[in-house]
């Protein structure tokens, strides 16, 4: 008898109505899109906001699909836990504010996938209203991209002088001002320190991403005048 109940519990799957499925997907996509717009327009992070948020909608919809698939099947739920246990995420979260938006996206996907559309819509809208009020009332300071930004590059000794000059040239090309501070070398690492006034911060982040791809073990620290440090 116990085996029969267990088989029923593991194998019993409730068919999902197609209209309900599509409605949940559309709702999740719309909510994720609005969260993406708020992140791009109201976030104060130093990251490339357009680049970081380009997968917000996909993340929300994917979360919704996963929840809708596994919520009616214990076997699939256990399989999902086993599958995700071998996945290691290495995406660098540079500022806590990014986590807030990521959790908001995942929450919208979870809510829509579980069928709690009204609660999810109200909750996400309420969260976005709080973000908007905080931005307006407290006059959240936008980043002045024209200010001098200090860059500190720590790269292993696979780099030579010509490659260092290439980094400086790339940075000078996207800046209105570049001041060389210091260059130090040891047996293992090279540390390059510069002050830069970028034309657009998005261009600076692209150059940094390119340098990270060229030199896999490098570390880059961006420092602003308010002593906020970001590691890339």
DSSP string, 123-172: HHHHHHHHHHHHHHHTTPPPP-TTS-EEEEEEEETT--HHHHHHHHHHHH
Structure-token match 């197609």, residue found: 18
Q: What is the domain class of 149-231 according to CATH? A: alpha beta
Q: Contact 174/198 with Cβ under 8 angstroms? A: yes
3-class DSSP assignment, residue 61: helix
219-223 and 149-156 strand pairing: antiparallel
Q: What residue ranges of the chain are covered by domains with CATH 3.30.70.380?
A: 149-231
Tens of pLDDT, residue by residue, the chain (232 residues): 445 454 544 455 556 678 888 999 999 999 999 999 888 887 766 566 777 788 889 989 988 888 887 776 655 566 565 555 545 555 555 667 788 888 899 889 888 888 888 999 999 999 989 888 887 776 544 445 556 777 888 887 667 778 888 888 888 888 888 888 888 887 778 888 888 887 777 777 777 778 777 777 777 777 764 444 444 4
Cβ-contact 174, 134 below 8 angstroms: no
Q: Which residue has the tokens 């002045």?
A: 144
Tell me, rounded to whole angstroms, the distance of Cα 27 from its chain centroid. Answer: 21
CA–CA gap between residue 104 and residue 115 (Å, rounded): 17
pLDDT in tens, 191-232: 888 888 877 777 777 777 787 777 777 777 777 644 444 444
Q: Which two tokens stand for residue 217?
A: 């073990």
pLDDT of residue 119: 92
Report pLDDT digits (tens) over 95-114. Answer: 677 888 888 998 898 888 88
């Amino acid at each position: 008898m116990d085996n029969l109940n267990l088989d029923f519990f593991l194998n019993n799957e409730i068919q999902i109505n197609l209209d309900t499925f599509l409605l949940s997907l559309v709702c999740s996509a719309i909510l994720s899109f609005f969260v993406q717009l708020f992140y791009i327009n109201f976030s104060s992070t130093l990251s490339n906001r357009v680049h970081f948020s380009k997968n917000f909608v996909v993340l929300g919809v994917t979360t919704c699909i996963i929840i809708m698939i596994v919520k009616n099947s214990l076997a699939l739920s256990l399989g999902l836990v086993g599958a995700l246990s071998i996945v290691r995420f290495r995406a660098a979260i540079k500022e806590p504010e990014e986590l807030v938006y990521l959790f908001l996206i995942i929450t919208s996907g979870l809510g829509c996938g579980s069928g709690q559309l009204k609660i999810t819509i109200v909750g996400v809208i309420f969260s976005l209203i709080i973000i908007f009020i905080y931005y307006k009332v407290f006059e959240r300071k936008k980043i002045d991209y024209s200010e001098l930004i200090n860059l500190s590059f720590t790269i292993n000794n696979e780099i030579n002088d010509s490659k260092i000059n290439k980094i400086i040239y790339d940075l000078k090309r996207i800046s209105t001002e570049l001041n060389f501070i210091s260059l130090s070398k040891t047996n293992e690492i090279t540390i390059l320190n510069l002050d830069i006034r970028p034309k657009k911060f998005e261009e600076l982040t692209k150059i940094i991403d390119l340098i990270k791809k060229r030199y896999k073990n490098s570390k880059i620290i961006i420092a602003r005048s308010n002593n906020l440090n970001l590691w890339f």
